[in-house]
């Protein structure tokens, strides 16, 4: 894919940090479910930021200007 390292690093950071909270079996998802004493599907509608990050990364990925 010939993706520059700075974009790859940014994408992996966004995917790992923000999106982890919407994965119910992930560390953040398990903590949130346990701390709030609710099922993961009940707090998913309130996770605006992780969903927005996914959309922003996809949009930004299509709009990258190639380094020369």
pLDDT of residue 37: 92
Chunk the chain into consecutive blocks of 10 residues (it has 68) and report each block's average pLDDT, rounded to whole numbers: 74 77 83 88 83 82 65
pTM for the whole structure: 0.58
Any alpha helices (H) in the chain, and if so which ranges? 5-17, 27-36, 40-43, 48-62
- Give the distance, in angstroms, between the CA of residue 37 and the centroid of all CA atoms in the same chain: 23
Q: How many CB atoms lie within 10 A of CB 2?
A: 4
| pLDDT of the residue at 18 | 78
7-42: b (≥16 Cβ within 10 Å) or e: eeeeeeebeeebbebbeeeeebbeebbeeeeeebee
- pLDDT for 35 equals 92
Domain-wise residue ranges, the chain: 5-62
Query: In this predicted model, what pLDDT tens digit does every residue of 55-68 receive, in sequence order?
Result: 888 787 777 766 55
């Amino acid at each position: 894919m010939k993706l520059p390292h700075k974009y790859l690093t940014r994408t992996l950071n966004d995917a790992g940090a923000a999106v982890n909270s919407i994965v119910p079996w992930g560390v953040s998802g398990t903590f949130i479910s346990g701390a709030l004493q609710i099922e993961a599907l009940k707090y998913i509608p309130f996770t605006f930021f992780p969903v927005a990050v996914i959309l922003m990364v996809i949009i930004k990925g299509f709009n990258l200007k190639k380094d020369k």
